[in-house]
Structure 1
Amino acid sequence: MKRAVLTLAIISSLASLAACVSAPTGPTIAIMPREGKPFDVFQQEDQQCRDFAANAIKDTSNASLKEGATSAAIGAAIGAAAGAVIQGGSSQNIGTGAGIGLLGGAAMGAMNASGKQNQAQAQYNIAYQQCMYSKGNQVPSYPSQGGGSNYRPPSSGFKPIQ
């Protein structure tokens, strides 16, 4: 009985971790308005680009949310089958096998969903960057539009020994 309670506690903990996966809620990169652009215009563009990026990844984020539940269910089924095979199919072994399978499946599902969530965030950031860049804002690692000949990377302050 103690083992069953412990197994259920572990399973519910992992299942709740798998449920923590969520779609990106905003960019994780800094974009600056170009020189002379009013801040209220920049804020409007920011909102437009957030909407654009959210629509660009809608299918990807839904897939990551389903990943955890699917892996947990498959793990439970495989665990129950393995538990039935071990020790001649006693009901105690089926329950233990299902619990262990659910535990492993939830862990794998959480890892897979986390990877898909990271991928969705990267895609969100790219779509957001592209949108903000197209509106003339300053995007890290890209020279500003029209900056051509005056653009130079910042100096590190290092001077070679002569």
Structure 2
Amino acid sequence: MKPRSIPLLMSAALVVGACTAMPSGPSVMVLPGSNKTLDQFLGDEHNCRQFALGKVGGVNSHQASDTAAVSSSAAGASTSSDSGYDAQRQYDAAYVQCMYASGHRVPAYSQMLAAPPATPPANYKPYFPPPVPQGYAP
């Protein structure tokens, strides 16, 4: 590989990475668990936001103190070809998994099913009109 091709590849990776938007936060609502206080919820939410940001290639608080980790995560984020929508979806998935593992209530996605037909009560008797008498002609 020629010496000039390495800086060219690095600059191309930075240009491609500039088009990707990092999520600013979760787009799903999570509620505190039944036995959790608000302070526990807020602490877990902060930790899970950092966890999710790290999963999509962002910089979390542990990586910010280490300059080598910052440069490696920035390079990893810049080579990512995910769109902003995909990054947000990955962020939300990691955030929901973390909050669920911490004991909080998270949204559950499922297919909507039609309700089964209602059964009539046991004492229901449908009305049938009496039969027409024999020999009756209208």
Q: So what's the TM-score if we normalise by structure 2?
A: 0.49
Is the radius of gyration larger for structure 1 or structure 2? Answer: 2
Q: So what's the TM-score if we normalise by structure 1?
A: 0.43
